[in-house]
Amino acid sequence: MVNIKRLPSPIIESYEWQWEGACMGVDSSVFFSPEAERGMKRHRREESAKAVCATCPVIDRCREHALAVQEPYGVWGGLTESERTEILAGRQAAVG
């Protein structure tokens, strides 16, 4: 279950940056895996998503958001679910 306590407050300024994302108007299936997607198909989809992210003017803000709220699904800020998990685990190990 997602812990919503990590989410920013529901004010427009907290999310307004998303309107500037290169992903606006792109089908969400590029960024979010269908159930049980594996192997090369998943890898190709993630690489397609990362290609969109690479052109994004708010990629850093998106990445920071995804890490801060521990976004459990999809490609955010050019990072896959597993890449974000690794970064967060590294941060946790460095702290404690």
Q: Tens digits of per-residue pLDDT, 9-35?
A: 666 667 899 999 999 999 999 999 998
* Residue 8 lies inside a defined structural domain of this protein: no
For the chain, the domain total comes to 1
Q: Which domain holds residue 71?
A: 57-95
Residue type (1 letter), 67: L
Q: Is 62 annotated as a binding residue?
A: yes
Residue 82 maps to a domain = yes
Q: Which residues contact 93 (CB under 8 A, 6 or more apart)?
A: none
Residue 9 lies in a domain: no
| pTM for the predicted model, two decimal places | 0.83
Phi, psi of 31 (to 5 degrees): -100, -20
Q: Let me know if residue 89 belongs to a domain.
A: yes
Instruction: Give the alpha-carbon dihedral of 22, 67, 5, 46, to 10 degrees.
Output: 60
Is residue 86 situated within a structural domain?
Answer: yes
Is 45 contained in some domain?
no
Encode pLDDT of 32-49 as tens digits: 999 899 999 999 999 999
Residue 20 located in a structural domain: no
Q: Is 84 annotated as a binding residue?
A: no
